[in-house]
Structure 1
Amino acid sequence: MNFLEQIISRAKQDIKTIVLPESNDIRTLKAAAMIQEQGIANIILVGKEEEIQKLGAGLDISKAKIVDQTNFEKMDEYVNTLYELRKAKGMTIEQARAILLENPLYFGIMMVKVGDADGMVAGAINSTANTLRPALQILKTAPGSKLVSAFFVMVVPDCEYGENGVFVYGDSGLVENPNAEELSEIAITSAKSFKALVQAEPVVAMLSYSTYGSAKSELTEKVIEATKLAKEKAPDLKLDGELQADAAIVPEIGKSKAPGSDIAGKANVLIFPDLNCGNISYKLTQRLAKAEAYGPIIQGVAKPVNDLSRGCSAEDIVGVVAITCVQAQNA
Structure 2
Amino acid sequence: MELLEQIKANAQKYSKRIVLPEGTEERTLKAAEVILSEGIAQLILLGKPEDILKQAEKLGLKNIEKATLIDPDSHAKKEVYADLLVELRKSKGMTKEQALKLVVDPLYLATLMIKNGDADGEVAGAINATGDVLRPAFQIVKTEPGISVVSGAFMLLTNKPEFGENGLLVVADCAVHPNPTAEELAEIAVVTARTARNIAKIEPRVAMLSFSTKGSAKNELVDKVVKATELAQKMAPNVMIDGELQADAALVPSVGNLKAPGSPVAGKANVLIFPSLEVGNISYKLVQRIAGIEAVGPVLQGMAAPINDLSRGCSVNDIINMVAITANQAAGLTK
Give the TM-score range, shorter chain.
over 0.9
Report if the CA contact (8 A) 1:22-1:46 is conserved.
Answer: yes
Q: Does residue 1:110 correspond to 2:112, yes or no?
A: yes
Matched, 1:168 2:170: yes
The one of 296, 321, 324 aligned to 1:294 = 296
- Uncovered stretches (5+) of structure 2, i.e. residues with no partner: none
1:270 & 1:181 partners in 2: Cα distance?
17
Candidates 100, 103, 110, aligned match of 1:100: 103
Partner Cα separation in structure 2 for residue 169 and residue 127 of structure 1: 23
Instruction: Tell me which residue corresponds to 2:147.
Output: 145
Partner of 2:32: 32
Provide the C-alpha distance between the structure 1 equivalents of 2:206 and 2:191, rounded to a whole number of angstroms.
11
Query: Residues of 2 paired with 1:83 and 1:203: CA distance?
Result: 43
Contact 1:18–1:121 at 8 Å: present in 2 too? yes
Residues 157 and 290 in structure 1, CA contact (< 8 A), matched pair in contact too: no
Counterpart among 199, 223, 233 of residue 235 in structure 2: 233
Aligned pair 1:87/2:87, yes or no? no
Using the TM superposition, give the Cα deviation of residue 46 of structure 1 relative to its aligned residue in structure 2, in angstroms. Answer: 0.7
Counterpart position of 1:68: 71
Q: Does the alignment pair 1:49 with 2:52?
A: no
Question: Counterpart amino acid of 2:61?
Answer: L
Contact 1:31 1:318 (8 Å CA) reproduced? yes
Aligned to 1:267: 269
State the AA in 2 paired with 1:69. Answer: P
Give the Å deviation of 1:86. 0.7
- What's the offset of the Cα at 1:284? 2.1
Write the distance in 2 (CA, Å) between the matches of 1:144 and 1:217.
29
Which residue number corresponds to residue 182 of structure 1?
184
Once the two structures are superposed, what CA deviation does each residue of 1:234-254 show, in whole Å capped at 9, x if it has no partner? 333211111111111111121
**Counterpart residue identity of residue 94, structure 2:** M
AA paired with 1:90? Answer: G
| Distance in 1, Cα, partners of 2:237 & 2:121 | 32
Contact 1:295–1:307, Cα closer than 8 Å, also in 2? no
Contact 1:286-1:292 within 8 A present in 2 as well:
yes
Say whether the 8 Å CA contact 1:153–1:295 is kept in structure 2.
yes
Q: SS of the counterpart of 2:122?
A: strand
Q: Deviations over 1:22-46 (max 9, x none)?
A: 1242111111111011111111111
| Equivalent in the alignment of 2:207 | 205
Gaps of 5+ in 1: none
Q: What secondary structure, in the 3-state scheme, does the structure 2 residue paired with 1:71 have?
A: coil
- Secondary structure at the residue paired with 2:242? strand
Percent pairwise identity: 55
Q: Between 266-275 and 276-285, report the one with greater CA deviation.
A: 276-285
Secondary structure class of the residue paired with 1:162: coil
Distance 1:91 1:150 in 2: 30
Name the residue aligned to 2:156: 154
SS state of the match for residue 163, structure 1?
coil
For residue 149 of structure 2, give the secondary structure of its aligned residue in structure 1: coil
Residue 191 (1) aligns with residue 193 (2): yes
Aligned residue pairs, count = 330
1:125, 1:176 → 2: CA distance?
24
Tell me whether 141-150 or 25-34 shows the greater mean CA deviation.
141-150
1:219 partnered with 2:252: no
Match of 1:311 in 2: 313
1:12 maps to 2:12: yes
CA–CA distance in structure 2, aligned partners of residues 158 and 54 of structure 1: 46
Amino acid at match of 2:275: P
- Preserved CA contact (<8 Å) 1:150 1:170: yes
- 4+ long deviations beyond 3 Å: 53-56
Paired residue secondary structure (1:153)? strand
Q: For residue 50 of structure 1, report the CA deviation from its aligned partner.
A: 3.1
